[in-house]
Amino acid sequence: MKVLNNINSCLNKILKFILIICFSVMTITYFSQIVLRYVFSTGFHWTEELTRYTNIALVMFGSAVISGNRSHINVSVLETIIPQKYVKWAYLLQQLLTIAFFGAAIFYGFDMMKLAGTQVSTNLRISMKIVYGIFPAAFIIMVFQVIVYILNNIFELEKRRGAL
């Protein structure tokens, strides 16, 4: 379990670094486009596309980081209605449903990549498979983090039972 937690921690550090890079690229690109457009009355034709794709990466990998920290929004009304002894099972059910949703998103993400075929972006001329690949990559990371969360809860429960 310690190995999985270390991998998850390392993965989150890498994702945070990717987020910093994406945000920096977006900021520099937007700023340079504004300066070029309003000061020099010219500009690059590829900046909008680059910022759109980095924004997609920022949102998806940011969601993966949030998923690893259990910071997503949730509706906790179910947790307050059910008896306290069943709350742990409700959390487990939530996490299993989350895995099912992320699994479907992975499947459709790979399907989108297949549909892209040889399509390239208009201005940057990069393969759209790369852009569409952001989605399944982020969802695979989210599934891994949810599995680690579930396993941590199971082993924590086992430890508490053994201590009693």
The answer to whether 68 and 80 are in contact (CB under 8 A) is: no
| pLDDT per residue as tens digits for the range 125-147 | 999 999 999 999 999 999 999 99
What pLDDT score was predicted for residue 154?
80
> Which DSSP category does 119 fall into?
-
For the residues of 65-87, what is the DSSP string, one character each? HHHHHT-S----HHHHHS-GGGH
Taking 70 as the pLDDT cut, the residues of the chain under it are 157-164
Q: Which helix (DSSP H) or strand (DSSP E) does residue 144 occupy?
A: helix 128-163
What pLDDT score was predicted for residue 78?
77
Type of residue at 151: L
What pLDDT score was predicted for residue 91?
83
Mean per-residue pLDDT of the chain? 89
Q: What is the rounded CA–CA span in Å between residue 28 and residue 47?
A: 10
Q: Percentage helix, strand, coil, to 5, in the chain? A: 80, 0, 15
